[in-house]
Amino acid sequence: MNIPSNPKPAARSASRSHTKRGASPAAERPAASSDPTRDIAFDILRGVIENRRMLETTLLRSPEARAADTRDRAAAHRLAAAALRHLGTLTTALEPFLRKEPPEPVRAALLLGAAQLLYLETPPHAAVGTTVDLLRRRGLAPFAGLANAVLRRVATQGPAVLEGLDQERLDVPPWLWTSWKHLGPGVARVIARGLAHEAPLDISVRPDAEAPPEAERLPTGSWRLPAGTRVTTLPGFDEGAFWVQDAAAALPARLLAVQPGERVADLCAAPGGKTAQLANAGAVVTAIERDPARLERFKENIVRLKLDVTTICADATAWTPDAPLDAILLDAPCSATGTGRRHPDALWIKRPRDLEALTEGQDALLAAAFRMLKPGGRLVYAVCSLQKEEGPDRVAAALRIGFTADPFRPSELADIPEALTPEGWLRTHPGLWPELGGMDGFFAARFIRPA
């Protein structure tokens, strides 16, 4: 597992014993009976570190998370995400204060405590006391004294320890850092800088609707609100005036340049941001999605946005349209390494060997898209990945299938010229637009099925 493991045995020790000998009042007082935020964050973090389970999966499946109120769930998400965003740094920062490796669950509790102290500005007494309580509630009382002593030292000495660390480097799994060399010299560090911050909330607004007054317009036409904004509370949400879509995610569908009345398929459609763009541009859209639960979410979005779209629950590699199509958007399932700002867990869960199965699936979808298009029909292939295997290497695969390349022109990306590669592909990453709050990492390329 490339999740940082084990602090090496360190010379200095905060606590010689795992008992509460010498512990402060925080370690001695009775545990609070409930703290849903930290309980859920603890489960999420353990799910990622110990079981490679996505953060969202724990949130969806855990009975405790489902029963919690929205604010507790959101706070738990934020806390676990902060620990995961800085997982490498926090692991290293804890090292000098640990004499030996604690059991995994205790390490998870310490990481949450340290994240609160070093990144979330939680007052030290609260971060330390709630971690001690958490351990007690979870049957780990023998480690309460250790947690108390370690976190009290992190509170006082941790900021100085952080100053000596290369946080950008530590917070990206080493294999990913190395793999991003294909993006150019120094780009891995620029990306890491972008990944250090929580993503803002971006929305795409229906052409005939107004953006919420508090949103800021971005150069590409998306609208941006501060990180942590709850989209459902914004004016216009219930009326379907807009949908959630990162500024970079809005670019591939735009580059398909659909014309009113064209017959278009969106082959991997849920939750529906790109379908909404195609339908709003006047295309006659068929949306294919193989996951029934995700298709339900897609349908809710399309109904809220009052769009007319044909939806089909199917594996796109086995689906055939009634007649050849004018255009296809293939937003293929991928490693999602471009979405690390929103999903810091994804960076730590993915392994290099996962890319093989993903690229096989992408090639199967490319071949299926080729069969569905009319001669002269066009395809935009997109992935929210920063990996060469899922981007440039798939262009080579598409050409082998029989597509010809149709490079994007500078005029099509005039509002974001830095995203156009010399080959005529789209490439964004979290280090772009640093002054505006960054964007997700996307790759896209356009092809024609020759006549």
Ligand X SMILES: C[S@@+](CC[C@H](N)C(=O)[O-])C[C@H]1O[C@@H](n2cnc3c(N)ncnc32)[C@H](O)[C@@H]1O
Q: Is 96 in the site for ligand X (CB under 6 A)?
A: no
Is 313 assigned a ligand-binding role in the annotation? Answer: no
Pick from 47, 273, 340, 430 the residue near ligand X by CB under 6 A.
273
- Given 79, 199, 265, 384, which residue is catalytic? 384
CB closer to ligand X out of 127 and 253: 253
Q: Is 132 in the site for ligand X (CB under 6 A)?
A: no
Q: Is 2 in the site for ligand X (CB under 6 A)?
A: no
Helix, strand, coil shares of the chain, percent, nearest 5, are 45, 15, 40
Coil, strand, or helix at residue 317? helix
Site for ligand X in 280-339 (CB under 6 A): 288-291, 294, 315-317, 331, 333
Is 36 assigned a ligand-binding role in the annotation? Answer: no
DSSP string computed for 121-182: ---HHHHHHHHHHHHHHTT-GGGHHHHHHHHHHHHHHHHHHHHTS-HHHHTS-HHHHHHGGG
Instruction: Give yes or no: 384 in active site.
Output: yes
Is 431 assigned a ligand-binding role in the annotation? Answer: no
Coil, strand, or helix at residue 219? coil
The total of other beta-carbon atoms located within 10 Å of residue 407's CB is: 15
Instruction: Judge whether 44 and 79 are in contact, CB under 8 Å.
Output: no
CB closer to ligand X out of 88 and 272: 272
Using alpha carbons, select from 92, 117, 119, 94 the residue that is nearest to residue 197: 119
| Smallest distance from ligand X to CB 190, Å | 24
* Total residues binding ligand X (CB under 6 A): 18
Pick from 272, 430, 431, 441 the residue near ligand X by CB under 6 A.
272
Is 334 assigned a ligand-binding role in the annotation? Answer: no
Site for ligand X in 374-403 (CB under 6 A): none
Instruction: Judge whether 87 and 1 are in contact, CB under 8 Å.
Output: no
Is 331 assigned a ligand-binding role in the annotation? Answer: yes
Q: Is 363 in the site for ligand X (CB under 6 A)?
A: no
The tokens for 112 are 């949450």
CB closer to ligand X out of 17 and 317: 317
Using alpha carbons, select from 314, 326, 216, 321 the residue that is nearest to residue 278: 326
Residue 373: phi and psi, rounded to 5, are -85, 150
Is 246 assigned a ligand-binding role in the annotation? Answer: no
Taking the CA atoms of residue 224, residue 226, residue 231 and residue 235 in that order, the dihedral angle to the nearest 10 degrees is -70
| Smallest distance from ligand X to CB 375, Å | 24
Contact positions vs ligand X (CB under 6 A): 268-274, 288-291, 294, 315-317, 331, 333, 365
Catalytically active residues are 384
Q: Which residues are annotated as a binding site for S-adenosyl-L-methionine?
A: 268-274, 289, 315, 331
